[in-house]
Chains A and B, each alone.
Chain A
């Protein structure tokens, strides 16, 4: 039965919607966390960002041990991303097979660049995520003095590369477009719908898309423009 659900296009869409919702929750939290970059240095001489990062590593440690919850969250995210991508890939394949011959001219009336570009945006996001992890989590692609645990410094240094900043902004634009359609679409797919509700959902999706974009790009821009001060030591 679950297999039948998974095999159907509607089932796949529901899986996409649920994983999308989880990922959306994650990026909103991530964005809020990023803003700690503007938090300055605390009384203990440690940057607020590093403080926050340490919190993520220690949360729930009294019960489960250090970093356990963080890894659980990471695993969960990985599963979500994996499923989301798998479904997207399968659905795109089904959809492209459903129209083997296209039109000479087709005039769109209600679909948007965002809705038609979900796959394209998704691919940008995927490549960004891979880079982002290698860049800031493992440091393999950092090349500017990556030091495990020193988040503020890693970020500040990382964003001194203009090409990194440019890629980051491009990816965030993709995220914004992806959110604009996805945050509305997921409610439709889950059957949450109503004549009064829909404009609100659409509005929230738009606001989220804008907030995510500006929230995320504020850090690289502030860094590269030297609005954020260089890390101490």
Chain B
């Protein structure tokens, strides 16, 4: 296949970027989207030109590194797939493909298609964990969890932290990411002691990282390569409201600021 690519090129975080056109020829329809970019990059490299910087690692859809908006959709046209799992047979010979980085204030561009997603780590640091030190655990089967809650917690826990939800959201909101972690831990017995302080602190950090607010467009769940549902956002809202009400009733007894 022969393709035309329009790729966002930006040398440094502060420099002005622009779209640059590239032709790639003889692309195998069996190759993945990233392998197609590899092909182009190798051509650029031997010409002594700077290859297109993009993040990738596992190339099997689980590490969450790859992150590009392909033809207006995060991770490209296929549902439930990361960019590394997108294959060229999903395109037609002669197509023009527009490739852009994630766009969000909280995800500043570092170079070309590489953005800084450390804001996600900051949200986790605010409470996306259960405070149990190594060695302090009771026997695993002494904590019983009904299968439904365990399965639902797992559905939320499949988040790979790629940021497609933020990239897709017209508001640049990280609610799906935050809600997935809040729900994963909030659905489990082990997560109950910190349930409300967790949601309050994580939302606070999410706001501090300059993500937008949720207006229930639902774009995030369409873009999510793991199919995480916006029902978890609703769950976060519920827990947040409950947590704040508890705070008001109980005074400042909770860990949350």
> Interface size for chain B: under 10, 10 to 19, 20 to 34, or 35 or more residues?
35 or more
Cross-chain contact B204 with A99 (CB below 8 angstroms): no
Cross-chain contact B237 with A13 (CB below 8 angstroms): yes
B106 — which chain A residues lie within 8 A by C-beta?
98
Nearest CB in chain B: distance from A56 CB, A: 33
Contact of A1 among B214, B223, B248 (CB under 8 A): B248
CA distance A95 to B213 in the complex (A): 6
CA distance A109 to B169 in the complex (A): 11
A193 — which chain B residues lie within 8 A by C-beta?
231, 234-235, 238
Q: Take A14-B241, A107-B72, A109-B222 as given contacts and tell me if A115 and B216 are in contact as well, using a CB distance cutoff of 8 Å.
A: yes
A110 — which chain B residues lie within 8 A by C-beta?
217-219, 221-222
CA distance A223 to B110 in the complex (A): 62
A5 — which chain B residues lie within 8 A by C-beta?
244
Majority-rule SS of A interface residues: helix
B222 — which chain A residues lie within 8 A by C-beta?
109-110
Give residues of chain B (67-121) contacting chain A, Cβ–Cβ below 8 Å.
Answer: 69, 71-73, 98, 100, 103-106
A99 — which chain B residues lie within 8 A by C-beta?
103-105, 170-172, 212
Q: Take A106-B72, A111-B170 as given contacts and tell me if A184 and B216 are in contact as well, using a CB distance cutoff of 8 Å.
A: yes
Cβ of A66 within 8 Å of any chain B Cβ, yes or no, is no
Cβ of B240 within 8 Å of any chain A Cβ, yes or no, is yes
A13 — which chain B residues lie within 8 A by C-beta?
213-215, 237
Give residues of chain A (92-151) contacting chain B, Cβ–Cβ below 8 Å.
Answer: 94-111, 115-116, 118
CA distance A92 to B205 in the complex (A): 19
Contact of B6 among A11, A104, A106, A109 (CB under 8 A): A104
- Residue among A97, A98, A116 with max Cβ neighbours from chain B (10 Å): A98
Residue-by-residue, is A82-98 near B (CB-CB < 8 Å gives 1, otherwise 0)?
A: 00000000010011111
> Interface size for chain A: under 10, 10 to 19, 20 to 34, or 35 or more residues?
35 or more
Nearest CB in chain B: distance from A54 CB, A: 40
Q: Take A10-B240, A95-B172, A99-B103 as given contacts and tell me if A105 and B72 are in contact as well, using a CB distance cutoff of 8 Å.
A: yes
From B178, which residue of chain A is reached at the shortest CB distance?
A: A10
List 12 contacting pairs A-B, 8 Å CB cutoff, sorted by A.
A13-B215, A14-B240, A95-B170, A95-B172, A97-B212, A100-B105, A103-B69, A108-B170, A108-B217, A110-B219, A111-B217, A189-B216
A-B pairs with lowest CB-CB distance, top 9: A191-B238, A98-B212, A98-B172, A9-B213, A193-B234, A111-B217, A107-B72, A95-B171, A95-B212
B: residues with CB less than 8 A from A are 6, 8, 19, 69, 71-73, 98, 100, 103-106, 168, 170-173, 200, 203-204, 206-207, 210-219, 221-223, 230-231, 233-241, 244, 247-248, 252, 257
A: residues with CB less than 8 A from B are 1-2, 4-5, 7-14, 91, 94-111, 115-116, 118, 181, 184-185, 187-195
6 further A-B pairs in the complex, CB-CB below 8 A; given A91-B213, A97-B212, A108-B219: A10-B236, A105-B71, A109-B223, A190-B237, A191-B235, A191-B236
